[in-house]
Structure 1
Amino acid sequence: MDLVSDAISAVRVGRPSSDRVRVGGSWCARLDPYDGAGFHVVLKGTCWLLPDGGEPVALGAGDAVLLPHGTGHVIADSPADAATVARAVPFARWADRTLPQPPLPAFHAREREVEMLCGKYRLDHGRAHPLLAELPPLVHLPNRVGHHPELRAAVDLLGGELDARRPGSSVALASLLDLLLVYMIRSWLAETEEGAWPAALGDPVTAAALRALHSDPAAPWTNDRLAAEAGVSRPTLARRFTALVGRPPMAYLTWWRLTRAAALLRDTADPLATVARRVGYASPYALSHAFRREFGTTPGQYRRGEDVTTSR
């Protein structure tokens, strides 16, 4: 079981995208809010990230930034002011290497040159695992010697693939971008001292219960069986799990089963009976009843992409 991977898989939609951008002089680009998560990794030079409603963040070479909730923002050569934001161009146009790029300044051109990896992931925030929902609007991971070697290695590999476009690069790029997202979230979990989910994953009892539920969500779990798996009494499990996760173990299991069912309905053509069996429901009827109670729509309507509000 890997709860982080499960949480990402449940909400990921389509393929991630990325660009390697080189720019110099005076520049400013804007990304509007979007349904997904964005990232920037500075490979060379320095720049600023100006999140909507937040304080400017200075970025240096090797820094990584994750915007897990698709917060709109500006990236620029200088801190925020009205003039900086006003001259921002849409990111897609700015990053398009087929368009003319502004010339590097003649004076101190090399010192002011900036290279970045910029990209985004399409995520269904409506089905977000609470671990992902708990992430702050902006996760800044500064480059520090000895910190997050896996993240640094993924950045190096990703930059190399974007440069070379060698055979098999389309598969390699998608896999490396997925790996980058995992490593950024893992790095945040390792560094943060706040939030319920870092505490839940650090608690041996709660972590053991989560590991069991995610390893086999279709198993006939009960509170007694889960407590035995975690090596504690039923009251101890209920108290610690509920305090850290925010809901009792069986309520979390029900929610996770239905979240997995939604992902399977979205991503596969499996019959409803197969989906029900894979997530622990005895029949399609039982799954449909629970699914409608949780999401306000039937599995069939959800699979067809019908608006939830039309099914109520």
Structure 2
Amino acid sequence: MIPFLYAIVSLMDVLSDVLAVMRTGRPRSARVAWRAPWAQEFAPAPGSAGFHVLARGSCVLLRAGAEPLRLAAGDIVFRAHGDGHTLADSPGTRPILPACGPDDMAGLPAFAAAGPAGDADATVTLCGAYELAPELVHPMIHDLPDLIHIPAGRHPRLAATVEHLAAELIDPGPGSTALIPALLDTMLVHLLRTCLTGDHPTGWAAALSDPVTGAALRAMHREPGRDWTVAALAAEGGLSRAPFARRFTEQLGRPPLTYLTWWRMAVAAGLLRSTDLTLGAVADRVGYGSEFAFATAFKRRFGVPPGRYRTGFR
């Protein structure tokens, strides 16, 4: 994963910044082979995101209040919010394995493989899970659907990453402990790219691709501590103040300076979690002229003063 400070200082890529701020812990992955009848329940895991890839065979994904989703070989499902669900060979099979929740995930190794890998009749799944800091989950992620189905063959780069990840899980070699988390991070980027592209983008997808709103977002992320005004942000996109403010708010559901404050607090929280910068230095990095003003804004956002927030991660 790209170090937090490098992402904030050196990158002008909004998605990279978002991932750097909200990711925590290490990603985990497993490749499992199943023989029918089988069913695996996955309990809700707030503060996480995850994926399933059907590497071989077919299965159904079951969720409360939704029709069964049938998956074929090569299909990928992305769960942006850690919602509960079940994978099974058929809708009528009852889960026979213990539910997998966030506490269970914490005890698993970073990667694993299980089941009869050489059995040609087995269904094979590849899954991955990511821990997210709940208070730092970006609006871009909040706006995604609960479950996104990516049919096989739609995204070659994503498929190539899946193939490489599966090979390392089946036959780990020297360096796999470092390579597999890197592949999982790559997988997450490709999954979010897939979610944010399309023929008719809306919301964050539209904002990031829009030459006006996208330029303003990149400017805020590049220099969160600058004394931005709506007029200055509008100038980044080459538009006058009033039409820019309307355009930004229509696309993202919040005015530009409201988002700027949210992003500043997210950057500040990331710095408090991962560095030993003084509170004054953090305040300066995110555009506050005094520790008092910064502490007031931070407590309003997170419910605790910045010093106490930092103590929780030491």
TM bin (shorter chain): 0.7 to 0.9
Equivalence for 2:196: 189
- In the TM superposition, residue 33 of structure 1 has moved relative to its aligned partner by 0.6
Q: 2-side partners of 1:100 and 1:280: how far apart?
A: 50
Pairwise CA distance, 1:257: 0.2
Pairing 1:211-250 to 2, within 5 Å after superposition = 211-250=218-257
Matching residue of 1:169: 176
1:185-224 per-position Cα deviation (integer Å, ceiling 9, x unaligned): 1112223746421222232211111111112212222222
Counterpart contact for 2:196–2:205, Cα < 8 Å:
yes
Task: Answer yes or no: is the 8 Å Cα contact 1:222–1:250 preserved in 2.
Answer: yes
User: Deviations 1:137-194 (Å, cap 9, x if unpaired)?
Assistant: 10110113xx212111111111122122222212211111111111111112223746
Matched, 1:89 2:98: yes
Q: Which deviates further from its counterpart, 32-41 or 44-53?
A: 44-53
How well do the aligned residues superpose, as a CA RMSD in angstroms?
2.6
Q: Out of 19, 25, 48, which is 1:8 matched to? A: 19
Q: Are 1:141 and 2:146 matched, yes or no?
A: no
Counterpart-to-counterpart distance in 1, 2:215 and 2:237 = 5
Q: Is the 8 A contact 1:33 1:70 kept in 2?
A: yes
**Distance 1:51-1:232 versus aligned 2 partners, 3 A rule:** same
Instruction: Report deviation, 1:17.
Output: 0.3
- 1:285 to partner: Cα distance: 2.3
Q: Does residue 152 of the first structure (1) align with residue 159 of the second (2)?
A: yes
Q: Give the aligned residue type for 2:139.
A: P
1:73 aligns with 2:85: yes
Q: How does 1:1-312 map to 2 (within 5 A)?
A: 1-35=12-46, 36-79=48-91, 81=92, 84-91=93-100, 110=120, 112-144=121-153, 147-191=154-198, 193=200, 195-305=202-312
Whether the 8 Å contact between 1:52 and 1:71 is mirrored in structure 2 is no
> CA separation in 2, counterparts of 1:99 and 1:182?
23
Shift of 1:41: 0.9
1:287/1:98 CA distance change after superposition, 3 Å: closer
Q: Is the 8 A contact 2:39 2:87 kept in 1?
A: yes
Aligned-partner SS, 1:20: strand
Work out which of the two has the higher radius of gyration on C-alpha atoms and give 1 or 2. Answer: 1
Shift, 1:121, TM fit: 0.5
**TM-score normalised to structure 2 length:** 0.86
Size of the alignment, in residue pairs? 295
Question: Which stretches in structure 1 are left out of the alignment for 5+ residues?
Answer: 307-312
- The 2-side partners of 1:87 and 1:244 are apart by 45
SS of aligned partner of 2:165: helix
**Closer, same or farther: CA 42–6 of 1 in aligned 2, 3 Å:** same
Are residues 222 and 114 of structure 1, via their aligned partners in 2, closer, same or farther at CA, if it must alter by over 3 Å? same
Q: In 1, Cα distance between the equivalents of 2:112 and 2:217?
A: 48
User: Which deviates the most, 270-279 or 125-134?
Assistant: 270-279
Q: Structure 1 residues 85 and 192, CA, compared in 2 at 3 Å: closer, same or farther? A: farther
Shift in alpha-carbon separation, 1:131–1:268, aligned structure 2, 3 A: same
| Residue ranges of structure 2 left out of the alignment (5+ in a row) | 1-11
Q: Secondary structure at the match of 2:145?
A: coil
The whole-number CA distance in structure 1 between the counterparts of 2:197 and 2:286 is: 30
Measure the CA separation in 2 of the matches of 1:55 and 1:279. 46
SS in 1 for 2:70: strand
Closer/same/farther in 2, CA of residues 18 and 206 from structure 1, 3 Å limit:
same
Q: Secondary structure at the match of 2:179?
A: helix
- Amino acid of the structure 2 residue aligned with 1:143: A
For residue 282 of structure 1, give the secondary structure of its aligned residue in structure 2.
coil
Q: TM-score, normalised by structure 1?
A: 0.86
Aligned partners of 1:276, 1:186: CA distance in 2, in Å? 32
**Cross-structure match for 1:309:** none
- Structure 2 CA distance for aligned equivalents of residues 257 and 293 of structure 1: 13
The 3 A distance-change label for structure 1 pair 189 and 98 is closer
